[in-house]
Amino acid sequence: MFSYSSGNKRIGIAIGDFIIDLKKAEKKGIFGAIDLKDTLSQIVLNPFIGLGKKVTNRVREIIQSELCTHGILYDNKDELLVDRQSSRMHLPVKIGDYTDFYSSKEHATNVGKLFRDNNNPLLPNWKHMPIAYHGRASSIVVSGTNIKRPIGQILPIGSDSPILATTNALDFELELAFIIGKETEQGEQIYIDSTEEYIFGMVLFNDWSARDIQSWEYKPLGPFLGKNFASSISPWVVTLEALNPFSTKSISDEKELLPYLECDGDYHLDINLKVYMQPDNQKESLITTTNYKTLYWNYAQQLAHHTINGCNINVGDIMASGTISGSRKDSLGSLLEITEGGAKSISLSCGLERKYIEDGDSIIMRGYSFKDDIRVGFGEVRSKIISNS
């Protein structure tokens, strides 16, 4: 979703430095006799997504064809194309529910070594099912939204009693998330071979974490104030069909899975991911380079597990991958891992050092896929941390 010249929110498709205004394109007759039921006039994508993939894929195909010919789009480019730099981006969907998975073996192992048993970092259930929890949807914000430093209960080192304070261990988590494109009824299950029918597309996702708040509160029920203050997503939704050329084989399972999680198809995606940190008035510093395909549990297994008990899903629901970490030191998806729980500092290109995120720091995540001269970009998700005072 985007807006320009102080106008209303609009649905668009990003093409290089421009955005195609789809409502104006519809008025010019680009989509022919397709009945889009006024969905292109809405302020979120949910009604458009709800038309189903037969329609949404056809819209995408028509735009692709128009970009390759001197047709309606070319003849009306001055009216239909909007400069991206002069546009304001908005949250693309109305999010009803949000689920956060824990699907990177490397990340789970690193965290397990920090807080549990160095020799047995993974809990017994981890290789048998995609672990997840339900998060807070109301605090998911679009790229460009500043994040206030959160407050919560923190247990000072050496103390038996907590204090209420702002976090001193603010962290990012590099993730991708998929957006549900088709609803189900309560009691209905989605199986591996039909999961793609229910996924509209994917976005970059930064699941902020206050580690000192989280470490005090997470037992026995898991994250709460340490996570629910904000998550940031990119404004552009990349459809699953656009990502099909980058499909790849799943990681070999080390445990025999229950039949509903067995997965022989190419349900992993080759998506390059990078994270940058930028203190105020300084240049960006690259701190992480990794790939979505390193995840142990893929999106099909995540959705199949999510619904095996009959949990219903709705258009616009968002399901995040969990922190994506690779096996190299420069491929870790959180500062918790990079700094070993704040024990070590990282050096930025501007000469500053960081253990966690400070006020005025921006975190920028970017992603893209590239194969055989086909490139699909996710844009970026960028947010600055500001003081709570």
Going by their DSSP bridges, the two strands 140-142 and 231-233 should be labelled as parallel
Length of the chain: 389
Residues 48, 283: Cα–Cα separation, whole Å: 39
Quick check: 352 and 279 in contact, CB under 8 A?
Answer: yes
Strand partners, 152: 165
Complete DSSP assignment for 141-162: EETT--EEPPEEEE--TT-SS-
Name the helix (H) or strand (E) containing 209: strand 209-210
Identify the burial level of 210 via C-beta atoms within 10 angstroms of its C-beta, where 0-12 means exposed, 13-18 middle and 19 or more buried: buried
Q: Of the listed 90, 107, 134, 306, which one is catalytic?
A: 107
Alpha-carbon separation of residue 83 from 26, 63, 68 (angstroms): 19, 17, 20
Cα separation, 166 vs 170, whole angstroms: 9
The Cα–Cα gap between 49 and 284 comes to 35
Residue 108 phi/psi, 5° resolution?
-60, -35
**107 in active site:** yes
Enzyme catalytic residues: 107
